Chains A and B, each alone.
Chain A
Amino acid sequence: MKKLYLSIITLCSLIFNISHSETLEISITEGEVRKTNIAISEFYSSNDKTADIIKKINVVMNNNLMSSGLFQTFDKQAFMQKPNEMRFRPKFADWRPLNIEILVTGKVILVDDKFKIEMYVWDIIRQKQILSKRYMISGNSWRRLSHLMSDDIYTRVTGETGYFDSRILFVSEQRKNNHRIKKIAIMDLDGANIKYITNGRYIALTPRFSPDREHIAYMSYKKGIPSIYLHNIRNGQVKFLGKFKNMTYAPRFSPDGKKLIFSYAVSGRSNIWVMNIISGKFTQITNNTYIDTSPAYSPDGKNIVFTSNRNGSPQIYSMELSSGKVKRLTIGDGSYTTPVVSPRGDLIAFTKQSNGKFYIGVMNVDGTGERLISNSFLDEGPSFSPNGRTLIFFRNDIELGKTKLMTIDITGYNLREIKTPYGASDPNWSSLNKR
């Protein structure tokens, strides 16, 4: 009986303790901004015919993730486990000494002439598979697949949309006998797969992707008169849109891809115009005696940003298209040009010239929070990555005597050069390809 009483008392005290036990709560408001350690193992295959493609895919994926500035990749020589040992599941303990956080493994199976590829992404610390995906490709599309898989990893780990499966348009500047040949070229983000759109007989400038990345609009000085052309990437057809004798800035597409916006000078006054590609109709957006130039649409198509000297030096302004209301965004010293709005719609990137230097900067869409993220003798023409996280621009390298393409994170970190065979300028970053 005594035992019974005691056990009842114990039970009651236990319940009392549980109900009254306070859980400690703390708040962490800061963390480290460091690269994620990722190991990309070569994929497993039982067929020797796949060995070459496996190596190529591995190299491209490593380069992609490393170039993003958010990942630290590792040499496969340091890996404790071989691909065949990880066919089903890796041994997590073997990866922790290397401080690996994310591990990528996979399998390649040859089915007729096609490759069936399975990719697995593992969280080493949580000891969990966080992504598994299957792809089917033909042998010649291994490069695109590498970019797609890199995007999938990037998105899964960072939460951001990947951008490796995007392309860069630029003007290739080749020197020949003191003569500069300017051609419009297209390449993968890693500098591979370069194709030339124009032949170099006429100067071609300011190429811009359409939002669906099917068309390219560019200016060409055929017969000395600036003209706009529309190039279809799929079939190579070129459409002439018109001659613009006094065009002061190259066209950019509207978000729906149906219109082009540009600045055009009539009797000494530069104003902003919109051209409907389908109907060929022109609409004047600004009408004043100042120089309004370099217009670009916001991602929702409701606003435009442009440069104007209406208050003295060139500054950036925004305009609500429905009301025509204009707002000045920059107030700093120097001149601000080439504004572009991020695909996210949260930032505006621009070129700033001040005290004999050029800067690439970003600011909020309301003009606040200006940050200059790069500077040199000549940095110009920023263009956002599809996820709005990185910028591409061109830099004039005086030592080398040529222009080159640079990418930089919007935070100002991870400045990198994209290698091109010749000089390169005026880059434009495409949207992501449709899957």
Chain B
Amino acid sequence: MKKSILISLVMHIVVVLFFVGINFIYPKKIEVPPRVILDVAIITDKGIKAKKADIKKQKKQKIKAVKKNIKHKKIVKKKTVKKKIIKKTKLKLNAQKKIKSKTIKQTKNKTISKKVLKDLKPKKTVVSDSNTKKNTFTKKKESKIINKVKYSPNKSKITQDLNQKITKDDLLILRNQIKQCWKVPAGITNASNLITKVKVELIPTGKVINAEIYQTSISLSNHFMKAMSESALRAILSDLCNPLKLPKEKYKQWKNIIITFDPKQMLN
């Protein structure tokens, strides 16, 4: 009798220990929030990577020229983060799928739980959603995402334009602008062969941050040459020529410009 009582006691203890211990061994179950149906939920490996890169490029343009080393480090870090996020999202999506498999089949859309979105948010992943207002996100978080979504299509354009070359029209506008800023010194009316090349460094707004004489056709000890080259520098640094009218999306191509000032045509 005693034996059976002991066995039953031990068994009870084992059962109690099992249920208590299992909580320590296994993590708590995911609390599944109410279902949110998202129209478009592209959380593919490629999509995230592309959008991430786009955001970074736009930021770069805003902050002038960002050093590439730093950028690369960030990319590496973010890539590792992305991988973790993707794993997590996959796991959690699977969990969701199990629970809400019926609704998923009906809508044929991918769903993302609040928890998943909360996890994604601080790690700056992009979730495009037309029904974001319906979500329970805070307003700040919402606006952040919307902004990201808004920027993303432009960025893809910018990346395309960066590869485009500056057109003849772009150069014509630029030439006309500089022409108006250049006050040709009186001395050159009778002096030919006074050509000055000016090296100009610009920031994305089109403002000249540095201009220096790169080359002159004759020595700067010549009074005419000196006056000529200085007039060229004055032109490029004048208020009328700052900022220069250049297509901002093609900044990479006009970051540095060499401008040749040749008054020969004026002599004729």
Contacts and interface: CB of A to CB of B under 8 A. Distances in A.
A410 B187 CA distance: 12
B188 to A, nearest CB: 7
Interface in A145-193: 155-161
Interface in B209-238: 222-228, 230-231, 233-235, 237-238
B185 A158 contact: yes
Interface in A27-80: 27-34, 36, 70
B253 A24 contact: yes
Interface stretch (B7-15, B123-131, B135-143, B258-266): B258-266
A23 B76 CA distance: 30
Contact-residue bracket for chain B: 35 or more
A26 B171 contact: yes
Contact of A32 (B174, B175, B184, B264): B184
A365 to B, nearest CB: 12
Contact of B179 (A30, A130, A158, A411): A30
Given A26-B260, A123-B230, A157-B227, A411 B189 contact: yes
A28 B186 contact: no
Contacts of B178: 26, 28
Given A10-B72, A155-B223, A27 B260 contact: yes
A159 B189 contact: no
Contacts of A123: 230, 234
Contacts of A155: 223
A320 interface: no
B39 interface: no
A74 to B, nearest CB: 16
B234 A31 contact: no
Nearest to B234: A125
Nearest to B266: A30
Contacts, number: 127
A14 B68 contact: yes
A199 interface: no
A155 B230 CA distance: 13
B180 interface: yes
B235 A31 contact: yes
B213 to A, nearest CB: 11
Contacts of A6: 72, 76
Given A24-B258, A159-B227, A126 B237 contact: yes
A156 B72 CA distance: 50
Contacts of A99: 239
B262 A28 contact: yes
A70 B186 CA distance: 7
Interface in B119-170: 166
Given A10-B69, A26-B171, A159 B182 contact: no
A24 B72 CA distance: 27
B175 A28 contact: yes
B251 to A, nearest CB: 11
A25 interface: yes
A434 to B, nearest CB: 19
A89 interface: no
B184 to A, nearest CB: 4
A23 B237 CA distance: 19
B113 interface: no
B186 A389 contact: yes
Contacts of A158: 185-187, 227
A113 B72 CA distance: 72
B183 interface: yes
Given A23-B257, A26-B257, A125-B237, A33 B184 contact: yes
Contact of A29 (B227, B258, B264): B264
A417 interface: no
A31 B263 contact: yes
Nearest to B198: A28
Contacts of A14: 68-69
Contacts of B252: 21
B265 A30 contact: yes
A101 interface: yes
A140 to B, nearest CB: 31
Contacts of A125: 233-234, 237-238
Nearest to B184: A31
A28 B185 contact: no
Contacts of B171: 26
Best-surrounded residue of B68, B174, B183, B260 (most CB of chain A within 10 A): B183
Given A6-B76, A159-B185, A159-B187, A29 B257 contact: no
8 shortest A-B CB distances, which residue pairs? A159-B227, A159-B187, A31-B182, A31-B184, A159-B224, A29-B265, A10-B72, A27-B260
Given A26-B178, A28-B261, A31-B266, 12 more contacts: A6-B72, A25-B258, A26-B260, A28-B259, A29-B263, A30-B263, A30-B266, A32-B184, A123-B230, A158-B227, A160-B186, A344-B190
Interface of B: 68-69, 72, 76, 166, 171, 174-175, 178-191, 222-228, 230-231, 233-235, 237-239, 252-254, 256-266
11 contacts: A3-B76, A22-B253, A24-B166, A24-B258, A26-B259, A30-B182, A30-B265, A31-B235, A33-B184, A33-B186, A160-B224
